Amino acid sequence: MRRLFFALMACVLALMQSACVGDAKYVVQDGCVVYRYWTFSFGWRNDTLPGADAATFEQVKDWLGYDSERVYYEDKLVSGADVSSLVAIRKPLFRDKRDYYYQAVPMHVSDVASFKVMAWFEDDFWAHDSRCAYYDTVRIDGVDLDSFKILEMSKAKDKHHVYYFGRVIPDADPATYEILGYSAYSRDKSHIWCGDDLLEDVDYATFTVDDVSTAHDKYGSFRWEKRDTIAE
């Protein structure tokens, strides 16, 4: 349930890192291709790329490179990617003639020719092609594209379902589903959730959001999905 919290924290850390350090890059050292990047724990790191050919290596972006046979995202080998048709989109998204890739992971896009990013949220995105919708590497088969709507970074809906990080929220009614202010809480006509966790012992009529992670009803308060107090 706390994926939303950790996703927000990851965004903050990414912004802090970009503000404090220089760019990562690929370098050749002692005949090996090395990816040089910053970490808060260890400072600058130099990771050797597995199997990379220094003689033919080319940097596309400071996070994407290739040699005559292999593609690399940062220091990770991208299995199966086509070198000759490699195109960087925006970190961490790139493509070849067969598929799109999120970081080093193939997305298994259903229709590559019609794939389009709908919205970015730092390193995460919602996208669609002519058949499916996507949240990062999560492919949503059977989506109704005509009614598909992004609600916020982690949530979207169509006329059939509500989606949380690309996964269906069971029993959520998309017609009445709404996010409650700037918080982790949401509701439809008969349920209340924190993230994708259904609140089981909540009084619907008196439920009120206090801030991003806390709320209350007539029986007591909630911290995230857990009730702090229950009246006897």
Reference 184, options 141, 215, 157, 139; nearest CA is 215
Give the percent of the chain with pLDDT over 90. Answer: 86
pLDDT digits (tens, 9 = 90+) for 145-162: 999 999 999 999 999 999
Task: Tell me the mean pLDDT in the region 130-151.
Answer: 98
Per residue in 19-69, pLDDT (tens digit) is 444 589 999 999 999 999 999 888 999 999 999 999 999 999 999 999 999
Q: b/e per residue, 87-117, with b = 16+ CB within 10 A?
A: eeeeebbbbbeebbbbbbebbebeeeeebee
Reported as a pLDDT band with limits 50, 70 and 90, residue 11 is low
- H/E stretch holding 10 reads helix 3-20
Task: Please answer whether residues 193 and 200 qualify as being in contact, where contact means their C-beta atoms are separated by less than 8 angstroms.
Answer: no
Residue type, 3: R
pLDDT confidence of residue 42: 85
Query: For the whole prediction, is pTM greater than 0.75?
Result: yes
Q: And the tokens for 186?
A: 């949401």
Q: What contacts 19, CB < 8 A, 6 or more positions away?
A: none
40 token code pair: 């808060």
Instruction: Kindly report the number of other CB atoms within 10 A of residue 123's CB atom.
Output: 16
CA-wise closest residue to 94 among 109, 51, 48? 109
| pLDDT attached to residue 5 | 52
Rounded Cα gap, residues 127 and 104, in angstroms: 18
